[in-house]
Amino acid sequence: MPEQEYLPPYDPDLEGEEPPPWADLPPVHHPRRRAGADDEAPRRVPGGRAMRAAARRRRRWFITLGVVVVLAGGVTAAVLLTGGGPRPASVTPNALITTFQPGELQRVPNACDSVPAASVAQYLPGKVKQAAPLPVNGALESACNWTVDKAPVYRLLELDILAYAPSGLASGDGSATFAAIDAYATTLQSLRSPAKDSFEPKATIRTLAGLGDQAFSATQVFRVGGAVTDVATVVVRFHNVIVTATLNGLQHSNKGDYGPVSQSELSTAALAFAEAAEASLH
């Protein structure tokens, strides 16, 4: 009789191991077993359970190693596909501008020379004193004052031409033009709604079309210590440059006989000086 192959019994105590196909078969009697031992349980292979557990651990280790290899391969492929190694940083969108752009002015004309002598004589009748305050922004700024002081006329016209530089504090892209836009808006707001501690009256604002990129005029009446002064202001923005022309006319004074003052004439004169200064920027 041919010798039958011995099949070890299935051990249900081994967790995580699927039962073999022969797990439900009846025990096979080995022909060499002694007589009368049919009811005895088949002998297990010495150390079989430990060997199977070790095999199971090796199988798990190989699976883990395979996952690591796959992941490593994916990382390597990603590096190869992206070119590998360090590359120059890409340009950041919407980065701040730190240099003057085409069309922006880095130097402004002389404010005193920007207004023709004929205009000065027309809008400031009488003996005019001219003075040029020292600018605080170098070539980016120029200012000029014209004064007439002989009763009954007192006029003081102040003209300031200021070019703004790029600034990280400016809105938008921080360019010089955006810095000027912010300054224009701040000036408009301060005239329209002065701070309570400034003691300045609210201005009457009028938008001016066709002058620079933006322009407005403002009129105010100051009453201090019995004196009354009418003030007309014109503000113009051209690219990164702000032109401000302010004309003071003394309506009434505690000392001297001054006045009367025409508010419309003050506004017309301030506008003429602002237009001349803006034209000198082109």
Whole-number pLDDT of residue 100: 97
- The strand pairing partners of 204, in sequence order, are 219
What mean pLDDT, rounded, does the chain reach?
A: 78
Q: Are 250 and 274 in contact (CB under 8 A)?
A: no
Whole-number pLDDT of residue 61: 40
As a whole number of angstroms, the distance between CA 242 and CA 22 comes to: 97
Instruction: Map out the domains of the chain with their CATH numbers.
Output: 1-87 (no CATH), 111-279 (3.40.1000)
Beta strand 214-224 with 227-238 is antiparallel
As a whole number of angstroms, the distance between CA 204 and CA 61 comes to: 85
Whole-number pLDDT of residue 257: 87
Whole-number pLDDT of residue 255: 75
Q: Are 249 and 230 in contact (CB under 8 A)?
A: yes
- Burial of 86: CB neighbours in 10 Å, binned 0-12, 13-18, 19+: exposed
Whole-number pLDDT of residue 95: 82
Whole-number pLDDT of residue 93: 58
Whole-number pLDDT of residue 27: 44
Whole-number pLDDT of residue 41: 41
Whole-number pLDDT of residue 179: 98
Spell out, as residue ranges, where the chain has pLDDT lower than 50.
1-8, 10, 12-51, 53-55, 57-91
Whole-number pLDDT of residue 190: 97
Whole-number pLDDT of residue 26: 44
Whole-number pLDDT of residue 92: 53
Whole-number pLDDT of residue 197: 87
